[in-house]
Amino acid sequence: MKIIANLKMNKTPSQTLDYFMNIVPKSSDFKHELIFCVPFTSLTIGKYLTQNTNIQLGAQNLSDEDEGACTGEISGSMIKDAGANFVIIGHSERRSKFKENNKLINKKIKMALKNRLTSILCIGESLAEKNTLKTADVLKEQLEEGLKGIYENELENIIIAYEPIWAIGTGKIPTVKEISNSIDVIRKVIAQDFSLNAGKNICVVYGGSVNNKNISQISKVKNINGFLVGGASLEPSGFLQLITSVSD
Ligand code: 13P
């Protein structure tokens, strides 16, 4: 299983140092793949502290441009050089607060591929869309527009994170059946647009209010490859406990 922490806008570089000092000594106890998506400013310290461990680093965004006159932006090559192998793209907080649309997200995925970064593409429906039974349509649109022009062999460098917006930071989670249905939709769209094998092999994780208490329940979802954890990843001992509860 892949267990991905999204630290969001939390932890200064010094706090990141403390954080990894607590996590790293325990990380070899786990068979899972551990990926920590930290703020840009924490990548360098993270790289230093996690070298020669089973921990990998990710960023939470990247520019759709290569380099140059883009004040305040961070490029894929900068992220890569700072120690990341992964990057979250299209998180719902960026879609809503920073008005990122599928077209921009598609450009960012191409930029990540160009820089040999694995994209963690976040998709998911709002509560209104869920209530009007539009989940499958929303997922299909976000996937097809986000992955426009991507070649099948590039899918091994793309992880799909199913994150229903209404479940993020709310303590509410979908049922096992709802998560499983959405993951089926994702695999079906990939199978239709690429190939049956691609649909079977695409890595799909679930995110949204995953915590110590509900992780064993969510682990029952059969067609899942891992989890994307926000709030519950911030405190090292609680997060280590969560990782322990994930079955293989
Ligand atoms: P929470 O786990 O805090 O709900 O956040 C989920 C998330 O947005 C991860 O990307």
Contact 87, 61 (CB under 8 A): yes
Q: Which protein residues are within 6 Å of ligand 1, measured from CB?
A: 6, 91, 163, 168-169, 207-210, 228-232
Contact 43, 79 (CB under 8 A): yes
**Cβ count within 10 A of residue 31:** 10
Region of residue 245 (left: phi > 0; alpha: psi -120 to 50; beta: else): alpha
Q: How far apart are CA 112 and CA 120, in angstroms?
A: 10
**Choice among 33, 67, 91, 93 that is catalytic:** 91
**174: Cβ contacts below 8 Å, ≥ 6 apart:** 164, 167, 182, 208
pLDDT at 247: 76
In angstroms, what is the span from residue 51 Cα to ligand 1's centroid?
A: 26
pLDDT at 110: 98
Region of residue 65 (left: phi > 0; alpha: psi -120 to 50; beta: else): beta
Nearest CA to ligand 1 atom 9: 230
User: Hey, what are 194's tokens?
Assistant: 């690429």
User: Hey, what are 145's tokens?
Assistant: 């527009």
In angstroms, what is the span from residue 195 Cα to ligand 1's centroid?
A: 30
Q: Give the domain range for residue 73.
A: 2-244
Q: How far apart are CA 111 and CA 159, in angstroms?
A: 15
Residue 167 CA: nearest ligand 1 atom is 4
pLDDT at 231: 98
How many distinct structural domains can be found in the chain?
1
Nearest CA to ligand 1 atom 1: 230
Contact 116, 96 (CB under 8 A): no
pLDDT single digits (tens) 133-155: 999 999 999 999 999 999 999 99
Q: How far apart are CA 211 and CA 215, in angstroms?
A: 6
pLDDT at 19: 98
Please work out, in degrees rounded to the nearest 5, the angle formed at the alpha carbon of residue 38 by the alpha carbons of 24 and 103. 145
In angstroms, what is the span from residue 212 Cα to ligand 1's centroid?
A: 13
CATH code of 183's domain: 3.20.20.70
The residues of the chain scoring below 70 in pLDDT are 248
pLDDT at 140: 98
CA dihedral 39, 43, 46, 48 (to 10 degrees): -160
- Predicted TM-score (pTM) of the model is 0.98
User: Hey, what are 89's tokens?
Assistant: 């793209």
Residue 92 CA: nearest ligand 1 atom is 8
Q: How far apart are CA 8 and CA 60, in angstroms?
A: 7
Annotation marks residue 91 as catalytic: yes
In angstroms, what is the span from residue 25 Cα to ligand 1's centroid?
A: 25
**Which phi and psi angles does 204 have, rounded to 5°?**
-125, 125
Annotation marks residue 235 as catalytic: no
